[in-house]
A and B are shown apart, each in its own frame.
Chain A
Amino acid sequence: MHDARDAEDIRLLAAADHATLLATYYPVVLERCRLRLPDPDAWEVAQRVALRLLGELRRGKEYPVPFRVVVQMVTTWTIKEFFARPRTDPWPEELDLPAPDPYEGFETDHDLRLLFGDLPERARQVLELRYLEGYDHEEIARRLGIERNAVDQALHRGHRRLREAIGG
C-alpha cells in the first residue's frame, strides 16, 4: 500500500542515488535504535545499518522485497547483533528464497494501512488521518463528520490491533 514510497525508492535505486535513499530512512533507523540503546550505542548501531545498506547498494544487490522493508529488517538484525555475537553473514538465508509467499507477512508488518486493513472502513480512516497524517482528534472528527467519541473509539481499536501485533 506504500506504493508511492516504493516507486520513489525504485527510482532512486535505478539512479544509484544511495545518499537520498539512506538519508530518507536514517531518521527512522536511528529512532528505532534509540528505543533500545543509549545515544552513543544508538548512533553506532544506526551507522552499522547505514554501512551495511551502502555496501549492498554499491554491490548492486537486488532485493526481493521493497527497500523500506529491507531497511527495517536490517535494522532489526543489526540491533539484535549488537546484543549478541557479531554476524559474518549480513543477510539471512530466508531472504534469498524465490517464492513470494514468505514475504507476505513482511508486507503486513511494514505497512500501517495493511496492519489495520481488516478494521471497519471508518476506523481505518481515523487511524490513517491520525497516524499517517498527524491530525488532532478534533480535526479528524470534523473532517469525517463524526463525534469526537467515535474518533477515540477508533483509535482504541487501532491501539488494540497494534498490541495484538506485538503479541501483547
Chain B
Amino acid sequence: MADVARLFDEYAAAWARGERPDAREYLARAGEGEAELRELLDRFLTASLPAEPTEDEVAAMQAWASGQPPLLELRVRRGLTRASVVEALVGRLGLGEAATAKVAAYYHRLETGLLDPRGVSERVFAVLADALGARVDELAVWRPPPAAPALYLRASGPDLSVVAPASAAPEEPRDEVDELFTGPVAT
C-alpha cells in the first residue's frame, strides 16, 4: 500500500481497538499526502463507532455539565488532598519547600478554571498526570456551560482567551514557578 493508505490503515485499526492514537502524529508522517490522509481520517472518524466511555470520562463530563471543574472533581474522586498534589508538584519539579505556597496558589487557580492552561508547562502536566492518573491538560481546559451554576470561572462560553495569563505575584520578579504555570516571558 502507498504511504497514505498504510498510515490510514494503521490509524483506523488502532482507533478500532480503542487505543486513541494521535492523528497528528500520522499526519506528520504523511508528507505530501497529509491533506488526503486528513480527509480520509475525518471520513473514518465520522463513520466509526465510538468506544464506551470510561468512568473517569463520564465523571468529568458530569462535573462539567453541572458546573463543577472536572479537574477538581477528579482529585476529589481520587481521594487526594490539594496539599498532596502540591507536594508532588514541588517535589517532582525540584522546586524546594519555599515554593510550596506559590505552587499551591497556582494549582488552586488551575484546578478551578481560573488559570489559562495554555501557559502551563508540559512538565507540570506530566507530574499531575502521574499524581491523578489522567490527561490533566485535557481536563484543565474545560469551562462551565453558561446555564450551569458557575462555581468557578464566570465566562459566557468556552473562549479560552478570557482567562488572562497572570502571575501569582505580578509586582515581584518572575521566577521558575511563574514560568512553569504561565509560560516564559515573550522576548
Which A residues are within 8 Å of any B CB, using their own CB?
2, 5, 18-20, 22-28, 30-32, 34-36, 40, 43-44, 47-48, 50-51, 54-55, 58, 68, 72, 76, 109-112, 115, 130-136, 152, 155-156, 159, 162-163, 165-166, 168
Contact = CB atoms under 8 A, between A and B. Distances in A.
Given A35-B38, A132-B16, A156 B44 contact: no
- Chain B: number of interface residues, binned into ranges: 35 or more
A90 to B, nearest CB: 13
Contacts of B45: 28, 31-32, 35
Given A27-B50, A31-B45, 10 more contacts: A23-B53, A23-B60, A25-B50, A28-B45, A35-B23, A54-B145, A131-B44, A134-B19, A165-B43, A166-B43
B27 interface: yes
A41 to B, nearest CB: 9
B164 interface: no
Nearest to A155: B9
B113 to A, nearest CB: 12
A24 B53 contact: yes
Contact of B58 (A20, A35, A156, A163): A20
Given A19-B58, A44-B159, A166-B43, A28 B48 contact: yes
Given A23-B61, A163-B40, A166-B43, A134 B50 contact: no
Given A34-B23, A47-B143, A166 B49 contact: no
B13 A134 contact: yes
Contacts of B1: 152, 155-156, 159
A112 B61 contact: no
Dominant secondary structure at the A interface: helix
Contact of B14 (A18, A54, A134): A134
B118 A112 contact: no
A19 B67 CA distance: 12
B50 A20 contact: no
Contact of B49 (A5, A26, A35, A168): A5
B169 interface: no
Contact of A130 (B12, B51, B52, B57): B12
B117 to A, nearest CB: 8
A131 B143 CA distance: 34
A53 to B, nearest CB: 10
